[in-house]
Chains A and B, each alone.
Chain A
Amino acid sequence: MKLVVNGKDVEVEVPADTPLLWVLREEVGLTGTKFGCGKALCGACTVHVDGAPKRSCVTACGTVAGKPITTIEGLANGAELHPVQQAWLEENVPQCGYCQAGQIMTAVVLLKAKPQPTDAEIDDAMSANLCRCGTYPRIRKAVHRAAELLAAGGAK
């Protein structure tokens, strides 16, 4: 089947019920999207399908064939980081880093819907992305910083 990942067409030969997570990691070769639980509980596997956040560990790849899929690897524009990534860098967010791809993908969607989110709106949108290292306070700060960067016209 044909998947469209980060703007590129990719042909994959997998059963339609194979979770998108493993197709991305093993067939497309993009390991930035992570396996944390396999049950959509942790959010480490979050990608965008048609601009909406999807937990790829429970998304059958057959259901997203042909639709535009964006992974963490598709956010930056070459060397130029996405403003959300830039904010993550400035606020020293990651500790172990394992959850951060999922956090960033979720934050990108939040900021599209709410360009100036309140703390409560951030909590609502992002509490289901788990971080065992406890970077939540910095994530919140970075979302606010990203909102600033986006309002100012993107990362420099």
Chain B
Amino acid sequence: MTAWSRRGFLHGMLLGGGALTLAACGGGGGQALRISHADQTGALAANLYITVLATGRVALIVNKAEIGQGVSTGYATLVADELGVPIDHVDVHYAGSNSEMRTSANLQLTGGSTSTAEAFVPLRRAAAAAREMLIAAAAAQWKVPASDLVAVDGHVVRGADRLPFGELTKHAAQLGVPDSPRLKTAKEFTLIGKVSRRVDIRPKITGAAVFGIDVQVPNMVNAFAIHGPVFGAKPITVKSDAAKQRPGVIAVVAFDWGVAVVAEKFWQARAAAADVEVTWDAGHVAGLDTQVMQKAMREHTGKGLVSKDDGDAGKAIEHAEVVVSGVYEAPYLAHATLEPQNATASVTGDRCEIWAPSQSPTLAQAYVADALGIGMDDVNVHITLCGGGFGRRSVGDVCAQAAQISRAVKRPVKLIWTRESDMTQAYYRPVYAVKVEGALRSGKVTGARVMSRSQSILLSSKKFLGAALSQLPGAMAGMVGDAALALFSTGSFGDLIASEGMANSPYQFGNFELATELVQTRLPVSFWRSVGNSVTGFVMEGLIDELCVAANQDPFTLRRSILPATGKQARVLDALEKLSGWATPPPHGIARGMARHFAFDTEVAQVAEVELVAGRIKVRRVFCVVDCGVPVNPGIIKSQMEGAIIFGLSAAL
């Protein structure tokens, strides 16, 4: 365990530094705090995120949730490389709720594939500043110019002379924070770009890792949630006398969302829940089922908002020799994180402490504040490891339920959902129904038209995004919040999330029209791994595939005909063609297909080899090429793609 104390962290939190940019801490509160912290601990608390301890270890606050995507390793790599320490000198801690740490959209949020891109420069800048402060301290001690010194392996080095960081921290803390520290060039990277071991493996293979479901706090009790047979069903009657007699049971409490059985131990709550009899109302999504939804989506006649209108797609289709068309549909989809939903809450008076596997401390604060009728600032969220996220953990519904139970029983409560609740309590990937039309003339693609109907994620979380937005400082807060919400509500926004992957498609159709119509139900939806792209990739590539068949053209050839001849798309297609051995026909009985997609600044293309075995589709091999820009850890990128391919296949098959 490190010698870096929680108190030191809290102290470090008070230092200036803003978002991820290293604001100057010259003079005034920031510098004074940094110096006094060093006087007490000997440590250099360089900014909100990085503290170099007198032991030489580096405490790094990762302002994201580790959901398996490897952000702990990624951020530790960026810092270790820029600071000049071996990566195993870095101890990762996860940021809890902290209004000073809000980044994109004024939220603390892990999502949108933003973590690495968001931090690549600012986090390195923070590390570089700390490095320069340590070098400056050594330079002063040795009475030599700082430019003579380098930071390597946790030491400041000048020829044969070395000073370990730990011996410099107290002095370095007295110095000013450099405004524009020098960042390493790519040639100087020692860790960035290399396949190195993930930093969080050991606890995950020894059973030591603490996920939300493993949290223990003093005086804690456990709650088993009984949810209704459909989402939104409210309990009408609750018979709990028998349950309350069971050993360990403290209370059986009904809420709008269901019934909580609270006991000293979870196994007691679970056993007692079998004795609870609940009758339910039909809930506010009564009458909505898969068939009703599908029919409604197919028959919906709203024309939506045209967000792309290049040339005249209508004319191109009218004058086409061949038109391909179809409707692509995608169902509601659960995330099914392997760790079921859970949260631990402790309510005292008008304050609430939360421990949760959450992808957004801010949204957790907003949901809890709303449920308890308290201020967001009165909710303090601690982030644990997440046994899978995939977007489900951005939603604060479980935290809110745990908080309500804690308030009712006046003790800290760990709430654990069953797998059944996890699969049935909404916040799914939205339904989609997308009509596509493609035009061919003389074997060439002359245009395409897409009419997309889907449910809006932003509207589902309107209330809570509003709460988060309203925390913006200054008089602008209310105005900005209202304006943003008005955009979301009227649908005039064209919901960028719903159309991502189509609106920004690099295909040059010549004539292209995209319209999006938002169809709302009262079943809330949320971000699901890759969000809009998980459906729009299917839609766009399905359209292209149909054009290939209609034009009798090879999938690479046709795509090349409507993509720029040079650039990311071209490079990735070339690499994939080679990697997959596309030029060589597949063996008898094996079929091949390819698809490509651009999302989050990343181009991906894949070939799948498929066979039919006893009437069932069996995917034998998938070839994958990724261009994501500068890779921080290619091994993790590979892991992510392997996992994503399997995740996608799971959903598709």
Residues on A lying within 8 angstroms of B by beta carbon are 14-15, 18-19, 22-23, 25-27, 30-39, 42, 44, 71-73, 75-76, 81, 85, 88-89, 92-101, 104, 130-138
Chain B residue at smallest Cβ distance from A71: B207
| 0/1 string, B372-411, CB within 8 A of A gives 1 | 0000000000000111111000000000000000000000
Contact B205 A96 (CB under 8 A): no
Q: Which of B24-32, B507-515, B636-644 contacts A (4 or more CB under 8 A)?
A: B636-644
Per a CB cutoff under 8 Å, which of A44, A85, A92, A131 touches B198?
Answer: A92
Secondary structure at the A interface, as helix, strand, loop or mixed, is loop
| 0/1 string, B140-174, CB within 8 A of A gives 1 | 00000000000000000000000000000000000
Tell whether B611 is near chain A: CB-to-CB under 8 Å. no
Contact B646 A32 (CB under 8 A): no
Give 12 A-B pairs besides A96-B386, A133-B338 with Cβ atoms closer than 8 angstroms.
A18-B267, A22-B270, A26-B265, A31-B213, A34-B213, A73-B208, A88-B205, A96-B385, A99-B387, A134-B643, A136-B646, A138-B639
Q: What CA separation (Å) do A13 and B198 show in the bound complex?
A: 40
Contact A89 B388 (CB under 8 A): no
Q: Give min CB distance, A31 to chain B, whole Å.
A: 4
User: Which residues on B sit within 8 Å (CB–CB) of A132?
Assistant: 336-338, 388, 390, 647
Q: Which of B15-23, B63-71, B459-467, B602-610 contacts A (4 or more CB under 8 A)?
A: B63-71
Tell whether B275 is near chain A: CB-to-CB under 8 Å. no
Chain B residue at smallest Cβ distance from A41: B419
- Contacting A at CB under 8 A, from B458-477, are none
Chain A residue at smallest Cβ distance from B206: A76
Contact B211 A98 (CB under 8 A): yes
- Contacting A at CB under 8 A, from B185-219, are 197-198, 200-211, 213-214
Interface centre among B67, B68, B202, B645 (most CB of A within 10 A): B68
User: Which residues on B sit within 8 Å (CB–CB) of A88?
Assistant: 201, 205
Contact B266 A22 (CB under 8 A): yes
User: Which residues on A sit within 8 Å (CB–CB) of B210?
Assistant: 31
6 residue pairs of the A-B complex, CB under 8 angstroms, read A34-B211, A85-B206, A98-B211, A98-B388, A132-B388, A135-B643
User: Which residues on A sit within 8 Å (CB–CB) of B388?
Assistant: 96, 98, 132-133
Per a CB cutoff under 8 Å, which of B200, B214, B265, B419 touches A22?
Answer: B265
- Contacting A at CB under 8 A, from B620-647, are 635-636, 639-640, 642-647
Chain A residue at smallest Cβ distance from B418: A38
Contact B68 A96 (CB under 8 A): yes
Tell whether B304 is near chain A: CB-to-CB under 8 Å. no
Chain B residue at smallest Cβ distance from A39: B419
Chain B residue at smallest Cβ distance from A99: B338
Q: What CA separation (Å) do A104 and B205 show in the bound complex?
A: 8
Contact A42 B338 (CB under 8 A): yes
Q: What CA separation (Å) do A137 and B642 show in the bound complex?
A: 8
Chain A residue at smallest Cβ distance from B335: A132
